[in-house]
Amino acid sequence: MKAVLPAADADTPVLLGEAPEPAPAHNELVMSAEAYSVNRGETFQLDGQLDRTWQGWRPGKDVAGVVVRPAADGSGPAAGTRVVAHPPAYGWAERVAVPTSSVAELPDGVDAVTAAALPLAGITALRLLRAAGPVAGRRILITGASGGVGHYVTELAAASGAAVTAVVAYAERGARLAELGADTLVTSVADAPGPYDIVLESVGGDSLPAALGRLAPGGLLVWFGQASRTPVTLDFFDFFKGPNQARIAHFDYTTSETTYGRDLAALVRLVETGRLHPEIGSVRDWSRTAEVIADLRARKVRGNAVLTLS
Protein backbone atom coordinates (compact mmCIF):
# COMPACT_ATOMS: atom_id res chain seq x y z
CA MET A 1 0.00 0.00 0.00
CA LYS A 2 1.02 3.64 -0.32
CA ALA A 3 2.31 5.36 2.83
CA VAL A 4 4.23 8.43 3.92
CA LEU A 5 7.72 7.31 4.94
CA PRO A 6 10.33 9.13 7.03
CA ALA A 7 13.32 10.26 4.96
CA ALA A 8 16.90 11.03 5.91
CA ASP A 9 16.96 14.45 4.22
CA ALA A 10 16.23 17.23 6.73
CA ASP A 11 14.86 19.47 3.96
CA THR A 12 12.51 16.72 2.74
CA PRO A 13 11.60 14.87 5.94
CA VAL A 14 9.06 12.48 4.37
CA LEU A 15 8.29 10.91 1.03
CA LEU A 16 5.37 9.00 -0.45
CA GLY A 17 6.35 5.36 -0.92
CA GLU A 18 5.31 1.77 -0.29
CA ALA A 19 4.77 0.01 3.05
CA PRO A 20 3.50 -3.45 4.06
CA GLU A 21 -0.19 -3.89 4.71
CA PRO A 22 -1.01 -3.60 8.45
CA ALA A 23 -0.93 -6.82 10.46
CA PRO A 24 -3.50 -6.15 13.22
CA ALA A 25 -3.27 -7.55 16.71
CA HIS A 26 -6.26 -9.41 18.17
CA ASN A 27 -7.75 -6.19 19.58
CA GLU A 28 -7.06 -3.99 16.55
CA LEU A 29 -9.25 -3.09 13.60
CA VAL A 30 -7.98 -2.01 10.20
CA MET A 31 -9.31 1.22 8.77
CA SER A 32 -8.97 2.83 5.37
CA ALA A 33 -7.78 6.41 5.84
CA GLU A 34 -9.61 9.32 4.27
CA ALA A 35 -7.81 12.13 6.09
CA TYR A 36 -5.09 12.64 8.68
CA SER A 37 -3.59 15.60 10.48
CA VAL A 38 0.01 16.55 11.16
CA ASN A 39 1.07 17.52 14.68
CA ARG A 40 4.12 19.43 15.85
CA GLY A 41 5.18 16.47 17.98
CA GLU A 42 5.48 14.38 14.83
CA THR A 43 7.75 17.01 13.29
CA PHE A 44 9.91 16.71 16.42
CA GLN A 45 10.06 12.94 15.93
CA LEU A 46 11.04 13.38 12.30
CA ASP A 47 13.75 15.80 13.43
CA GLY A 48 15.02 13.17 15.88
CA GLN A 49 14.14 15.17 19.00
CA LEU A 50 11.56 12.70 20.30
CA ASP A 51 11.71 8.93 20.48
CA ARG A 52 11.17 7.13 17.19
CA THR A 53 13.41 4.16 17.92
CA TRP A 54 11.05 1.24 17.39
CA GLN A 55 11.74 -0.67 14.21
CA GLY A 56 9.80 0.37 11.13
CA TRP A 57 8.39 3.53 12.70
CA ARG A 58 6.24 5.67 10.44
CA PRO A 59 4.42 8.86 11.48
CA GLY A 60 0.67 9.23 11.89
CA LYS A 61 -1.35 9.60 15.10
CA ASP A 62 -4.56 11.35 13.93
CA VAL A 63 -6.66 9.68 11.26
CA ALA A 64 -10.28 9.43 10.10
CA GLY A 65 -11.79 6.95 7.66
CA VAL A 66 -13.76 3.72 7.38
CA VAL A 67 -13.33 0.32 9.06
CA VAL A 68 -12.38 -2.31 6.47
CA ARG A 69 -11.62 -5.16 8.88
CA PRO A 70 -13.12 -5.40 12.38
CA ALA A 71 -11.04 -6.57 15.34
CA ALA A 72 -10.67 -10.33 15.71
CA ASP A 73 -11.70 -10.22 19.38
CA GLY A 74 -15.13 -8.83 18.46
CA SER A 75 -14.57 -5.45 20.10
CA GLY A 76 -15.12 -2.15 18.32
CA PRO A 77 -17.19 -1.16 15.31
CA ALA A 78 -18.09 -3.32 12.32
CA ALA A 79 -16.73 -3.08 8.78
CA GLY A 80 -18.10 -0.07 6.92
CA THR A 81 -18.34 2.13 10.04
CA ARG A 82 -16.97 5.65 9.74
CA VAL A 83 -14.46 6.31 12.53
CA VAL A 84 -11.85 8.66 13.93
CA ALA A 85 -8.81 7.11 15.59
CA HIS A 86 -5.62 7.85 17.50
CA PRO A 87 -3.08 5.11 16.71
CA PRO A 88 0.41 5.30 18.25
CA ALA A 89 1.91 5.67 14.75
CA TYR A 90 1.60 4.53 11.12
CA GLY A 91 -1.51 6.61 10.35
CA TRP A 92 -0.17 8.46 7.30
CA ALA A 93 -1.03 5.59 4.98
CA GLU A 94 -3.84 4.10 2.93
CA ARG A 95 -4.67 1.68 5.75
CA VAL A 96 -3.75 1.50 9.43
CA ALA A 97 -4.33 -0.92 12.32
CA VAL A 98 -5.68 0.74 15.47
CA PRO A 99 -6.61 -0.65 18.92
CA THR A 100 -10.39 -0.51 19.24
CA SER A 101 -9.95 1.37 22.53
CA SER A 102 -8.50 4.25 20.50
CA VAL A 103 -11.41 4.56 18.06
CA ALA A 104 -14.71 6.46 18.08
CA GLU A 105 -17.57 6.21 15.60
CA LEU A 106 -18.47 9.24 13.49
CA PRO A 107 -22.05 10.45 12.95
CA ASP A 108 -23.16 11.60 9.51
CA GLY A 109 -22.82 15.25 10.52
CA VAL A 110 -19.05 15.10 11.15
CA ASP A 111 -16.88 14.73 8.03
CA ALA A 112 -13.48 13.05 7.85
CA VAL A 113 -11.50 16.29 7.50
CA THR A 114 -13.05 17.76 10.64
CA ALA A 115 -12.66 14.49 12.54
CA ALA A 116 -8.98 14.12 11.59
CA ALA A 117 -8.28 17.43 13.36
CA LEU A 118 -9.59 16.10 16.67
CA PRO A 119 -7.43 13.33 18.17
CA LEU A 120 -4.11 14.53 19.58
CA ALA A 121 -4.96 18.21 20.02
CA GLY A 122 -8.49 17.57 21.24
CA ILE A 123 -7.56 14.77 23.63
CA THR A 124 -4.71 16.89 25.00
CA ALA A 125 -7.10 19.80 25.61
CA LEU A 126 -9.66 17.63 27.39
CA ARG A 127 -7.05 16.05 29.62
CA LEU A 128 -5.32 19.37 30.32
CA LEU A 129 -8.55 20.78 31.68
CA ARG A 130 -9.05 17.68 33.81
CA ALA A 131 -5.53 18.17 35.18
CA ALA A 132 -6.33 21.81 35.91
CA GLY A 133 -9.42 20.90 37.91
CA PRO A 134 -12.65 22.93 38.06
CA VAL A 135 -12.30 26.06 35.92
CA ALA A 136 -15.65 27.85 36.31
CA GLY A 137 -15.03 31.39 37.52
CA ARG A 138 -11.26 30.97 37.46
CA ARG A 139 -8.67 32.99 35.53
CA ILE A 140 -6.59 30.95 33.08
CA LEU A 141 -3.50 31.91 31.07
CA ILE A 142 -2.67 29.83 27.98
CA THR A 143 0.68 30.26 26.23
CA GLY A 144 1.25 29.20 22.62
CA ALA A 145 -2.50 29.50 22.22
CA SER A 146 -2.69 29.79 18.43
CA GLY A 147 -2.00 26.07 17.90
CA GLY A 148 -4.57 23.29 17.75
CA VAL A 149 -4.49 22.58 21.49
CA GLY A 150 -4.84 26.27 22.32
CA HIS A 151 -7.97 26.61 20.20
CA TYR A 152 -9.64 23.64 21.85
CA VAL A 153 -8.62 24.65 25.38
CA THR A 154 -9.85 28.20 24.85
CA GLU A 155 -13.28 27.14 23.62
CA LEU A 156 -13.75 24.39 26.21
CA ALA A 157 -12.51 26.48 29.14
CA ALA A 158 -14.53 29.55 28.16
CA ALA A 159 -17.68 27.44 27.74
CA SER A 160 -17.08 26.11 31.26
CA GLY A 161 -17.03 29.63 32.73
CA ALA A 162 -13.32 30.42 32.84
CA ALA A 163 -11.86 33.84 32.05
CA VAL A 164 -9.20 33.01 29.46
CA THR A 165 -6.14 35.04 28.52
CA ALA A 166 -4.44 33.72 25.37
CA VAL A 167 -0.81 34.43 24.47
CA VAL A 168 -0.17 34.42 20.71
CA ALA A 169 2.86 35.34 18.64
CA TYR A 170 1.01 37.90 16.52
CA ALA A 171 -2.18 39.84 17.19
CA GLU A 172 -3.89 38.60 14.02
CA ARG A 173 -3.52 35.04 15.24
CA GLY A 174 -5.73 35.83 18.20
CA ALA A 175 -8.85 36.91 16.31
CA ARG A 176 -10.26 33.39 16.14
CA LEU A 177 -9.48 32.78 19.82
CA ALA A 178 -11.56 35.81 20.74
CA GLU A 179 -14.46 34.35 18.73
CA LEU A 180 -14.05 31.09 20.68
CA GLY A 181 -14.33 32.88 24.02
CA ALA A 182 -10.95 34.29 25.02
CA ASP A 183 -11.44 37.40 27.17
CA THR A 184 -7.96 38.83 26.67
CA LEU A 185 -5.37 38.46 23.92
CA VAL A 186 -1.70 39.38 24.37
CA THR A 187 1.42 38.84 22.29
CA SER A 188 3.75 38.45 25.26
CA VAL A 189 3.44 36.83 28.67
CA ALA A 190 4.82 40.10 30.05
CA ASP A 191 1.63 41.82 28.87
CA ALA A 192 -0.72 39.34 30.57
CA PRO A 193 -2.52 41.21 33.36
CA GLY A 194 -2.74 38.40 35.92
CA PRO A 195 -2.72 37.12 38.49
CA TYR A 196 -4.02 33.76 37.29
CA ASP A 197 -5.36 30.76 39.12
CA ILE A 198 -4.12 28.42 36.39
CA VAL A 199 -1.40 28.67 33.74
CA LEU A 200 -1.24 26.18 30.86
CA GLU A 201 2.31 26.45 29.48
CA SER A 202 3.53 24.88 26.23
CA VAL A 203 6.38 27.09 24.99
CA GLY A 204 9.28 26.53 27.40
CA GLY A 205 12.38 28.70 27.34
CA ASP A 206 11.76 32.13 28.87
CA SER A 207 7.98 31.71 28.60
CA LEU A 208 7.55 29.33 31.52
CA PRO A 209 9.27 31.40 34.24
CA ALA A 210 7.52 34.52 32.95
CA ALA A 211 4.15 32.75 33.07
CA LEU A 212 4.93 31.38 36.52
CA GLY A 213 5.37 34.95 37.69
CA ARG A 214 1.78 35.67 36.64
CA LEU A 215 0.34 33.01 38.96
CA ALA A 216 -1.62 33.92 42.05
CA PRO A 217 -0.30 32.54 45.37
CA GLY A 218 -1.10 28.85 45.53
CA GLY A 219 -1.87 28.73 41.81
CA LEU A 220 -1.17 25.87 39.43
CA LEU A 221 1.05 25.83 36.35
CA VAL A 222 0.54 22.82 34.08
CA TRP A 223 3.55 22.31 31.82
CA PHE A 224 2.48 20.45 28.70
CA GLY A 225 5.05 21.25 26.03
CA GLN A 226 8.24 22.96 24.93
CA ALA A 227 7.47 24.24 21.44
CA SER A 228 10.43 26.63 21.52
CA ARG A 229 12.73 23.60 21.96
CA THR A 230 14.57 25.70 24.55
CA PRO A 231 15.11 24.35 28.09
CA VAL A 232 13.66 26.18 31.06
CA THR A 233 15.64 27.79 33.90
CA LEU A 234 13.87 28.53 37.19
CA ASP A 235 15.01 30.47 40.24
CA PHE A 236 13.66 29.16 43.55
CA PHE A 237 13.57 32.65 45.07
CA ASP A 238 11.37 34.02 42.29
CA PHE A 239 8.45 32.13 43.82
CA PHE A 240 8.47 34.53 46.77
CA LYS A 241 7.85 37.50 44.45
CA GLY A 242 4.23 36.55 43.77
CA PRO A 243 3.37 32.89 43.15
CA ASN A 244 4.26 31.81 46.68
CA GLN A 245 3.36 28.13 47.25
CA ALA A 246 2.54 27.75 43.56
CA ARG A 247 2.60 24.28 42.06
CA ILE A 248 4.12 23.10 38.78
CA ALA A 249 2.65 19.93 37.31
CA HIS A 250 4.26 18.05 34.44
CA PHE A 251 1.61 16.90 31.97
CA ASP A 252 1.73 13.81 29.76
CA TYR A 253 -1.39 13.48 27.65
CA THR A 254 -0.90 9.71 27.28
CA THR A 255 -1.54 9.17 31.00
CA SER A 256 -5.24 9.09 31.85
CA GLU A 257 -7.93 7.00 33.50
CA THR A 258 -9.98 7.18 30.29
CA THR A 259 -9.20 5.65 26.90
CA TYR A 260 -8.50 7.60 23.76
CA GLY A 261 -11.71 6.19 22.33
CA ARG A 262 -13.87 7.56 25.14
CA ASP A 263 -12.30 10.98 24.88
CA LEU A 264 -12.66 10.96 21.10
CA ALA A 265 -16.33 10.07 21.47
CA ALA A 266 -16.78 13.07 23.80
CA LEU A 267 -15.05 15.38 21.31
CA VAL A 268 -17.13 14.07 18.41
CA ARG A 269 -20.31 14.64 20.43
CA LEU A 270 -19.26 18.24 21.15
CA VAL A 271 -18.55 18.88 17.47
CA GLU A 272 -21.82 17.28 16.36
CA THR A 273 -23.83 19.46 18.76
CA GLY A 274 -22.03 22.67 17.75
CA ARG A 275 -20.19 23.16 21.04
CA LEU A 276 -16.67 22.58 19.68
CA HIS A 277 -15.26 23.98 16.44
CA PRO A 278 -12.00 22.45 15.17
CA GLU A 279 -9.67 25.05 13.72
CA ILE A 280 -8.35 23.70 10.42
CA GLY A 281 -5.59 25.91 9.12
CA SER A 282 -4.75 23.99 5.96
CA VAL A 283 -6.28 21.16 3.89
CA ARG A 284 -4.10 19.59 1.21
CA ASP A 285 -3.57 16.36 -0.70
CA TRP A 286 -1.40 13.89 1.18
CA SER A 287 1.27 14.07 -1.53
CA ARG A 288 2.07 17.51 -0.06
CA THR A 289 2.78 16.30 3.48
CA ALA A 290 6.42 17.45 3.30
CA GLU A 291 5.23 20.98 2.46
CA VAL A 292 2.87 20.98 5.44
CA ILE A 293 5.70 19.90 7.74
CA ALA A 294 7.85 22.75 6.41
CA ASP A 295 5.01 25.19 7.11
CA LEU A 296 4.63 23.84 10.64
CA ARG A 297 8.33 24.27 11.25
CA ALA A 298 8.05 27.86 10.04
CA ARG A 299 4.86 28.30 12.11
CA LYS A 300 2.84 29.25 9.04
CA VAL A 301 -0.05 26.93 9.93
CA ARG A 302 -2.63 28.07 12.48
CA GLY A 303 -4.75 25.38 14.04
CA ASN A 304 -4.58 21.90 12.53
CA ALA A 305 -3.15 20.91 9.15
CA VAL A 306 -5.20 18.13 7.54
CA LEU A 307 -4.16 15.96 4.59
CA THR A 308 -6.69 14.10 2.44
CA LEU A 309 -6.03 10.86 0.60
CA SER A 310 -6.96 10.88 -3.08
Which pLDDT tens digit goes with each residue over 200-212?
999 999 999 999 9
Pairing of strands 280-285, 247-250: unpaired
Confidence check: pLDDT of 281 > 90: no
Q: How far apart are CA 40 and CA 49, in angstroms?
A: 11
What's the pTM? 0.93
Average pLDDT over residues 158-185: 93
3-state secondary structure of 248: strand
Positive or negative torsion for Cα 64, 66, 70, 74: positive
What pLDDT shows up at residue 44? 76
